[in-house]
Amino acid sequence: MDLLLLSRLQFAATTVFHFFFVPITIGMVFLIAVYETLYVRSGDEHYKRITKFFGHLFLINFAVGVVTGILQEFQFGMNWSEYSSFVGDVFGPSLAIEALLAFYLESTFIGIWIFSWEKINKKLHLMCIWLVSIGTILSAFWILSANSFMQHPVGFKIVENNVIGKKAEMENFLEIITNSYLWHQFPHVIFTSLATGAFVISGVSAWKILRKHEIKLFHKAFKVSIVAALIGSLGLLLTGHSQMQYLVREYPMKVAAAEALYENTDNPAPFTVLASINEKQQQTKPLVEVPGLLSFLAFDKFDGSLKGMKELQKEMDDKYYPVIGEHLNYIPEVTLIFYVFRAMSGAGGIMFIISLLGTIFAFKKVETKKRWLLHLMPWMILVVEVAAASGWIYAEMGRQPFLIFGIMPTSSGVSPIPASSVLFSLIVFCFLYTILGIAQFVLFRYTMNKKETTIGEVN
């Protein structure tokens, strides 16, 4: 049993599962705040009932997300103690601020919001849910600032420590929170979250309309959420395009792996839709190509070529050997990255098309007649989760073989513990997470099956 592989699998499994709930939480609570704002401004009781109905679903998702998220920080001490010892002074403050500021903001005001319906002023009650939404966005920012340091380390210096040897020490906190990688990643995650939360609400609304459960009410819920889905989908496509151009400049190996480019491209460079990849022989045979599209994605013009992984391997070895002290294989898992990138991109395109059609139909008030769209909308929840998970896998796998890019190889960060212990915990965590997933599905389904949304107070 390979200790490093098992540790990576455990972190991947728990992180991807946790990330199923994060974008739903961020996007859904924002839209719930929008619905309550519409209620407070218009006095329309439909929006109050929509707020309460989707508030139930949000609380279920929030609870499961919190449980799965707690484990993430524990794993740095469990499976990645060498990494934690080396980078704790830099990595720790972001996680501490997220827990002590952002998460406390969320948990405090979500409690007030739940138990204060009809007990405090409407505008004050509305302020509570907006503070919860702000708290979720701040949580995302601080978590991403920590992750961005791993992708693009800045604002630190390496010092000698008598106990653990070399370690990273924070030198400039401002550089960490103004990290260029962070400010390309953060907007992309926020737009992804908006789209995810919006598709969850529009999918549930479509499901209710199909079953003729209060059609007028869920038409209003659908109309607002599908517009948000369109904004989120367009935003994630635009920020994703900007992020790719940033990667072309700063991390060309990630882009080359996503395109399975072992050799330098032609000019202009074609985008490969499907390919036969042989990682052992380092060869790629394109099956379907779009001429010039890769050049446009990388440079905003149908001109320009990209370096292949063979040349980039030599350049990176020359650059990082003096820092690492060993020759590494800088080419990541090409086949996996190639296909998750296409899953992410394809899902993003589908999200934009469906949200555009849904918005047009909703404003024409004909979405209830488009039964194919209503049947499709619940499945779009799966599509957006595929997009989110694929993007996260691409970001993390594309960084390999580094845990902290250019500074610390992944193999150097793992805890010196028996591989059997990691295997046992991996099995246990996967089992428990499966139970949590089933529980969330059952609770969602129970709430959705109610024919009327007269569920009274959220508590």
Q: Considering all CA atoms of the chain, what is the largest pairwise distance in Å, rounded to the nearest integer?
A: 72
Q: Is the peptide bond before 322 cis (omega within 30 degrees of 0)?
A: no
pLDDT of residue 458: 38
Burial code of 410-419, b = ≥16 C-beta within 10 A, e = fewer? bebbbbeeee
Among the listed residues 181, 205, 197, the one whose alpha carbon sits nearest the alpha carbon of residue 232: 197
Amino acid identity of 431? F
pLDDT in tens, 278-305: 999 999 999 999 999 999 999 989 988 9
The tens digit of pLDDT for each residue in 268-284 reads: 999 999 999 999 999 99
Q: How many CB atoms lie within 10 A of CB 307?
A: 17
C-alpha distances out from residue 269 to 260, 289, 311, 342, 365, Å:
13, 10, 16, 17, 44
User: What is the rounded distance in angstroms from the CA atom of residue 76 to the CA atom of residue 11?
Assistant: 9
> What is the predicted pLDDT for the residue at 455?
42
> What DSSP string describes 286-344?
EEEEETTHHHHHHHSSS------HHHHHHHHHHHHHHHHSS-------HHHHHHHHHHH
Q: What is the pLDDT of residue 239?
A: 94
For 229-256, the pLDDT digits (tens) are 999 999 999 999 999 999 999 999 999 9
DSSP states of 3-30 = HHHHHHHHHHHHHHHHHHHHHHHHHHHH
pLDDT by residue (tens digit) across 61-111?
Answer: 998 888 888 877 788 888 898 998 888 889 888 888 888 888 888 889 999
Strand partners, 402: 409
- pLDDT tens figures, 306-325: 999 999 999 999 999 988 88
Token code pair at residue 355: 């949200």
- Alpha-carbon distance of 259 to 245, in angstroms, equals 14
Residues in Cβ contact with 385 at an 8 Å cutoff, skipping those fewer than 6 apart: 20, 196
pLDDT digits (tens, 9 = 90+) for 384-436: 999 999 999 999 999 989 999 989 999 999 999 999 999 999 999 889 889 98
Q: 114 CB contacts (<8 Å, ≥6 apart)? A: 55, 59, 458, 459
Indicate whether 3 pLDDT > 50: yes
Q: Going along 381-426, which residue ranges are E strands?
A: 402-404, 408-409
Q: Considering the entire predicted model, what is its pTM?
A: 0.92
Residue-wise pLDDT for 41-67, tens only, equals: 999 999 999 999 999 999 999 988 888
Condensed to tens digits (0 to 9), the pLDDT of residues 165-223 reads 688 889 999 999 999 999 999 999 999 999 999 999 999 999 999 988 888 899 999 99
Q: What is 130-193 written as a DSSP string? A: HHHHHHHHHHHHHHHHHHHHHHS--SEEEEEETTTEEEEEES-HHHHHT-HHHHHHHHHHHHHH
Per DSSP, 369 falls in state G
* Cβ neighbours for 400, distance < 8 A, ≥ 6 positions apart: 332, 333, 410
SS3 284: strand
**Statement: residue 452 has pLDDT above 60:** no
Q: Closest Cα partner for 122 from 43, 32, 53?
A: 43
Q: Are strands 283-290 and 271-278 parallel, antiparallel or unpaired?
A: antiparallel
> What is the arithmetic mean of pLDDT over 111-138?
93
Contact 59, 458 (CB under 8 A): yes
Unique residue bearing structure tokens 């038409």: 219
